[in-house]
Amino acid sequence: MPSSASRENFLSATTEELEKLTGAEAGTSGAASSSAVAAHPGRSPLALPTALFYGATSIGIIACNKITLTTYAFPSSSALALAQFAVTCACLGALALAGAVELAPPTADSFRVVVPLTALFVADVLMGLFATGSLSLPMFTVLRRFSIPCTMLLERFVGQANPSPLVQASVWGMVGGAVVAAYDDLAFDAKGYAAVLLNDLFTALRGVYVKAALPPPPKLSKLSLLFYNALLGGAVLAPYLAYTGELAEARVWLEDAPSAHAGGHPVAALALSASLGPVLQYAIFVCTQHNSALTTTVVGALKNVATTYVGMFLGGDYSYSYLNFGGITLSCLASLVYSWAVIVGRRLPTAPPGEPAAK
């Protein structure tokens, strides 16, 4: 059974995957962002509040997951992820029935687009779950940054992007910091490192697939993509959890938790943690609508920096050393430079694939 700290790592990774799936990657929502800019040539008065709302919600879901998994000892992070899938489907389904949102009908074309994405997502999640058993939250977060150079190299290979020298330098700075931190990781585990690197590879493959399968105008909206991914992901995860016995453990917890935590509210904490999944997706949507996909990406990067350092004090599984801490700090600083470089790059002409990027 994974430790409480490892369960927190998995939920953090799962949250990150959902963020990227629903538009935190600029490539999947550039058309929507351009439309928003055209409709609102001036700065939206809700730009700052929605960015803060997204950042606070993103950090809040991690804190809520910690309370559920650690304080109240919920036995399965993957069962909690399944609950978030279920709540997401229920919320979007209810909104669609009420006419508040529009979801694409379940056609063969829709599933032809979604099924490969769901397969990559589930593989990504399972590798993340396997990786969490022996990695501290700071090291897990730092090693997850390897997904960025993986994505960059894959995009160049398929001709999707040609990043500027500053972006490339900052990406390799993140990698260098992670390598330094890993060199002096006192809690090194080879299987955990292998799993998280596979996790990074699946993340990169999924991002490149989204851009290739959903060119503007996309066949599916972000909400439709989220709905069908959660639906199919839940359909895959539910029998797996039934087979491993994790659903039975969660059911026993629901029966025993009120008496085991008489002074607290464990079931309410579980419900809130599951419900924050779709709230986070809404926060991402409104942040992108009133700012841009780029702003959402930058806020996410800043949130990850905060999570890295806060994670040193959570779970009690981080082993401090000067070299390890220095490598983590170098990787975090490089991620901030990366965010700044992307902002600057958006103000410069974009180079076609195969040609030198603007400096």
Least confident of 38-42, 144-148, 189-193, 231-235: 38-42
pLDDT(251) > 90? yes
What pLDDT is stored for residue 137 in this prediction? Answer: 67
Please state the pTM of the whole predicted model: 0.67
DSSP-derived 3-state class of residue 330: helix
Domain ranges of the chain: 61-101+108-341
CA 232, CA 225: separation in Å to the nearest integer? 11
- In angstroms, the Cα distances linking 42 to 47, 104, 245, 248, 281 are 11, 32, 54, 53, 25
- In angstroms, the Cα distances linking 91 to 49, 77, 145, 229 are 23, 21, 31, 14
Beta-carbon neighbour count of residue 251 at 10 Å? 12
How distant is the alpha carbon of residue 353 from its chain centre? 27
Q: What is the pLDDT of residues 21-36, one digit of tens each?
A: 444 433 333 333 344 4
CA 150, CA 153: separation in Å to the nearest integer? 5
DSSP-derived 3-state class of residue 136: coil
Contacts of 171 (CB under 8 A, 6+ apart): 148, 149, 152, 163, 334, 338
Alpha helices (H) in the chain, listed in sequence order: 4-19, 26-39, 47-66, 77-97, 108-131, 137-143, 147-158, 165-183, 190-213, 222-244, 246-260, 266-290, 293-310, 322-346
284 close to 54: Cβ distance less than 8 angstroms: yes
What band does 245 get if pLDDT is binned at 50, 70 and 90?
very high
- Tell me what the mean pLDDT of segment 93-121 comes to: 86
Query: What percent of the chain has pLDDT above 70?
Result: 72
Which residue has better confidence, 222 or 80? 80
Contacts of 70 (CB under 8 A, 6+ apart): 4, 5, 7, 8, 315
- Tell me what the mean pLDDT of segment 55-79 comes to: 82
